Amino acid sequence: MELLEKVALVTGTRRIGRVVALTLADAGACLVLTYHRSKEVAEQTVQDVKGKGRKAMAIQADVSRADQVKAMVDHALAAFGRIDVLIHMAALYQEKALATLTEEDWDQNLDVNLKSAFLCAQAVVPVMRRQGGGRIITFADWLARSGRPRYKGFVPYYVSKYGVIGFTEALALELAEDNILVNCIAPGPILKPPDLSEEENREVLAATPLKRWGGEEEIAKAVLALITSEFITGECIRVDGGRHVL
C-alpha cells in the first residue's frame, strides 16, 4: 500500500507512537491520533504533522470502551472520509506481584491491552472492506512472541500480549479475502526507561546481542514495512536487537 493521501489511525501517541506518526506523515499519510491522557503530546504531534504538509487531528478516547471507540471512528470518518490503516499501540505496562493482584488489575490489563485491539479492529474493518482493503498493525511484546515469560510481576500483562498475537493471527485469516492485511510488532529494548539504573542498563545491553537500545525509529521502520507490503499477513515480528536468540 502506498501511503500518499491515505489515512492512518494511531492509538497511543506518546513516545514511540509520536515517531511512528511523524514517519507516516513523511510517507504521505494523513493522521488521526488518539490519546487517553496525553493531550499535549497528541496536539503537538498534530501540529508537527501539519508542518509536514499533511492533515491531522487528535481525538481523546478510552479504547477499552466500545462506545468511545465507535465515536472515535465516526469522528475520523466525518473529518477524512476514510481509514486505510489502523496502528493500535495503546497499552498498559504495569508491574505487580501475584500476591497483590486484584480482579480489577486483571481486567484492566486485559481490557487495555487485548480487548481494545478487538474493539478498534472491529470498528475499522467495515470501513476498510468498503474501500477494498487496508492494514491493521497490533503491538505485543518480544517475550510473548518468544513464548516464554522472563520477568516476575507481569502475569496479566504477559497474558494479554500473548493474546494479542493470537488475535492478530486469527484476524489475518478472517480478513485475508478482503485484502486487509493484519500483522503484529513485538518490541524489545527500544527506549531506555528514565528511571533505569546504570547497573540495570548494563544488564539489558549484555542480554541484547546488538548491545544497544533500538530507538523509536526502528519501530517506525517496521510499521512502514508492514504497511507497504502486499504479501505479509498473520505475522508477529520481533524488533528486539536479537534478545530472543539468547
User: Annotated active-site positions, please?
Assistant: 157
Question: Rounded to an integer, what distance in angstroms lies between the CA atom of residue 203 and that of residue 230?
Answer: 39
Report whether 167 contacts 117 (CB < 8 A).
Answer: yes
Report whether 239 contacts 219 (CB < 8 A).
Answer: yes
**Residue carrying C-alpha cell 481490557:** 111
- What is residue 65's three-state secondary structure? coil
Measure CA 61 to chain center: 15
If 0-12 CB within 10 Å is exposed, 13-18 middle and 19+ buried, where does residue 121 land? buried
**Residue carrying C-alpha cell 528511571:** 195
Other Cβ atoms within 10 Å of 10 Cβ, number = 27
In the structure grid, which three cell numbers stand for residue 31, read together?
Answer: 493522521
For residue 209, which phi and psi values (nearest 5 degrees)? Answer: -50, -35
- Per the DSSP assignment, residues forming a β-bridge with 7 are 30
- What is residue 31's three-state secondary structure? strand
**57, 90, 123, 197 from 94: Cα distances, Å:** 29, 13, 27, 18
